[in-house]
Homo-oligomer: A and B are copies of this chain.
């Protein structure tokens, strides 16, 4: 079969999520240009044929489609809107896809700045954690223009299991916030359920088998309680990043004039966990608050 010509994809941010996502794009045959703040974390991609670039702007100058998945909203802002950044240096007509979990308002600003230069921008945060990234089973929540969404779909299909156009610019981020709010509740419920079970003298594995397939079941329980039982509190998804997400959600909810006491409680508990040296652990380490 004739091999289709693939657009060159620039990938900024090759951490615990970005590295396996970029690897799936290499597997799918896309020429890749990569940049990461810590260069060593891009080594395996470079050894597999990805080209190194020295900044996000350099990546943009060399790519048809630019994907970013970096840390915090201020990192996103700097990558896109900073001097010599992606918006300034992107090729004519390029498609920009920010997959970082960031603020809806920043997504709107980037889309607007992109449009002024004739570029297309999508906000496309993901859910599914490290396992989802490695297994190409991410949930991708997208905000932006339908044509741009369609152009990005082959890339989404290489990295994810589900991708949904949720609305205009920022709608992907809003959907991700809804996603994180739901996780905050299900994780809190799962952790407290098993803290109770342990205190009541139940066998935790038997309890998990008994309840995880029924009305108490959740992705949080099925994925993270086995790790808790086996004493594995490693990230997966970092506590510090979850706190970032929940803080954005609280700010947004406040701005929208709604009170979400479950979200507020979960955020307080995760902040307490971070104060107790839990910031670098995985989200299932909430367990440590229930001694």
Within 8 A of B (CB), among A163-199: 164, 166-167, 171, 174-175, 177-190, 192-197, 199
A252 touches B166 (CB 8 A): no
**Is A231's CB within 8 Å of the partner chain B?**
no
Q: Which of B166, B174, B185 contacts A187 (CB 8 A)?
A: B185
**Is A92's CB within 8 Å of the partner chain B?**
no
**Is A76's CB within 8 Å of the partner chain B?**
no
**Docked CA distance A203–B141 (Å):** 13
B-contacting 9-mer, from A80-88, A109-117, A147-155, A215-223? A215-223
Interface centre among A202, A215, A263 (most CB of B within 10 A): A215
Q: What's the nearest-Cβ distance from chain B to residue A138, in Å?
A: 8
**Is A200's CB within 8 Å of the partner chain B?**
yes
Q: A128-B215, A139-B214, A216-B127 are in contact. Are A192 and B202 (CB under 8 A)?
A: no
**Is A207's CB within 8 Å of the partner chain B?**
yes
**Is A210's CB within 8 Å of the partner chain B?**
yes
A214 nearest in chain B by CB position: B139
A174 touches B202 (CB 8 A): yes
Q: A175-B211, A210-B162, A252-B200 are in contact. Are A183 and B216 (CB under 8 A)?
A: yes
Task: Pick 29 A–B contacts, CB within 8 A, sort by A.
Answer: A127-B215, A139-B211, A141-B210, A164-B210, A166-B203, A167-B201, A167-B202, A167-B203, A177-B196, A178-B193, A178-B216, A179-B211, A179-B215, A181-B196, A182-B193, A182-B218, A183-B215, A186-B186, A186-B218, A189-B262, A195-B258, A196-B258, A199-B253, A199-B257, A200-B256, A214-B219, A259-B290, A262-B266, A265-B265
Beyond the given A179-B211, A192-B262, could you list 7 further A-B residue pairs with CB under 8 A, ordered by the A residue number?
A161-B214, A174-B202, A178-B194, A178-B207, A182-B186, A217-B218, A218-B219
Please give the residue numbers on chain A whose beta carbons come within 8 Å of chain B beta carbons, in ascending order.
104, 127-129, 132, 138-139, 141, 161-162, 164, 166-167, 171, 174-175, 177-190, 192-197, 199-203, 206-207, 209-211, 213-221, 223, 249, 252-253, 256-263, 265-266, 269, 290
